[in-house]
Amino acid sequence: MKTADFHVLLALAQAPQHGYAIMKEVQRASGGQVRLEIGSLYRLLARLLQAGLIEESSADERRRYYRLTRLGLRELKDEAARLANLVALVRERKLLENS
């Protein structure tokens, strides 16, 4: 899974959010390492919608809100487990300073 996709799904695991809130949460949670521009964010959201990982939860006059689907949550959990296994391997091989 692409890093930006993971971060968007992770942001939506907390609660439904609109695009700008997702963009800010991804930037905050990644410590600024993942920065999404508006255009790329909405292309990413369209791709995640098409894949069935997210859905529109509501909209008002100015904003569309998105939330995870069951499939999206399952994919997020699978990716989180894969990353946790990688971190465990990295620690086992003492590649992190505090391992």
The per-residue pLDDT for range 19-48, each reduced to its tens digit, is 999 999 999 999 999 999 999 999 999 999
CATH code at 3-92: 1.10.10.10
SS3 85: helix
Q: Are 54 and 45 in contact (CB under 8 A)?
A: yes
Name the pTM for this structure. 0.90
With bands split at pLDDT 50, 70 and 90, how would you rate the model's confidence at 62? Answer: confident
For range 70-76, the mean pLDDT: 98
Q: How far apart are CA 82 and CA 60, in angstroms?
A: 37
With bands split at pLDDT 50, 70 and 90, how would you rate the model's confidence at 65? Answer: very high
Q: Which residue pairs from 88-95 have beta carbons closer than 8 angstroms and sit at least 24 positions apart in sequence?
A: none
With bands split at pLDDT 50, 70 and 90, how would you rate the model's confidence at 98? Answer: confident
> pLDDT averaged over the chain?
94
With bands split at pLDDT 50, 70 and 90, how would you rate the model's confidence at 99? Answer: low
Domain coordinates in residue numbering, the chain: 3-92
